[in-house]
């Protein structure tokens, strides 16, 4: 299946409110859920685009505790990056920086978070061996598969990024995995990635993170 054209994609999100409405639907398909206490009732604080829980009064933004946590970037930049990546295009930080008119460092961090969404989209314990300190016992067939995949992923990294630091290599493996699994259905890939990017992160040790940063990641 082909992905929708970029023009149609942009038409679907004419402004930030459209992005927010869309992400709300994706994140809370059955209505708002407070991340702290699970309450469904909320009051919308219109001026700051926050949802205040009617029970515990926690104020939650649509991006809180997601890969977009405390972002200062427009939501449309995120959606557009999800779109690019999911439609199979190579998405370098340079390209993002140039197209969205953001600093190169910002583009790097944006892509890093999108890779995190790719990881979450295809999370599967069996394949967690790509994490550097995987403690799972790996059966022979998985080891064999691993060897093959690590080789292919290595080629992918070489071709598109030339060199990445050993400490962040696993993130590029996840990018490779997401891309190869979803290469034939970009339309579904976009849904998957937006879903993953806007869903609540409950487990703090996912992806080798010890904490969800209090500061904005991007």
Residues that bind Zn ion (CB under 5 A): 34, 36-37, 39, 53, 55-56, 58
CB of 66 to Zn ion, least distance (A): 17
CB of 192 to Zn ion, least distance (A): 28
The smaller minimum CB distance to Zn ion, of residues 58 and 217, is found at 58
| Strand-by-strand arrangement of the 42-45 sheet | 42-45, 50-53, 59-60
CB of 20 to Zn ion, least distance (A): 20
CB of 209 to Zn ion, least distance (A): 23
Q: For residue 66, count other CB atoms closer than 10 A to its CB.
A: 25
User: Dihedral of CA 16/17/23/26: which sign?
Assistant: negative
CB of 33 to Zn ion, least distance (A): 9
Gap between the Cα atoms of 191 and 3, Å rounded: 10
Gap between the Cα atoms of 153 and 155, Å rounded: 5
User: Dihedral of CA 83/87/93/99: which sign?
Assistant: negative
Helices marked H in the chain: 6-12, 16-27, 75-86, 93-100, 104-121, 140-161, 169-182, 186-197
Q: For residue 71, count other CB atoms closer than 10 A to its CB.
A: 20
């Amino acid at each position: 299946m082909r992905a929708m054209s970029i023009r149609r994609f942009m038409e679907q999100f004419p402004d930030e409110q459209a992005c927010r409405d869309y992400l709300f639907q994706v994140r809370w398909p059955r209505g708002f859920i407070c991340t702290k206490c699970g309450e469904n009732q909320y009051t919308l604080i219109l001026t700051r685009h926050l949802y205040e829980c009617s029970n515990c009064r926690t104020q939650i933004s649509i991006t809180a505790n997601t890969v977009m946590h405390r972002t200062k970037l427009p939501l449309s930049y995120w959606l557009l990056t999800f779109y690019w990546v999911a439609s199979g295009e190579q998405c370098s930080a340079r390209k993002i920086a140039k197209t969205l008119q953001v600093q190169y460092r910002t583009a790097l961090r944006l892509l890093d978070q999108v890779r995190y969404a790719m990881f979450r989209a295809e999370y599967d314990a069996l394949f967690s061996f790509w994490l550097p300190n995987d403690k799972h016992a790996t059966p022979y067939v998985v080891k064999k598969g691993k060897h093959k995949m690590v080789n292919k992923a290595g080629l992918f990294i070489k071709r598109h990024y030339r060199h990445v630091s050993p400490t962040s290599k696993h993130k590029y493996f996840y990018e490779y995995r997401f891309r190869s699994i979803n290469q034939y259905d970009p339309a579904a890939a976009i849904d998957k990635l937006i879903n993953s990017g806007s869903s609540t992160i409950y487990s703090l040790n996912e992806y080798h993170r010890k904490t969800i940063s209090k500061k904005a990641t991007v």
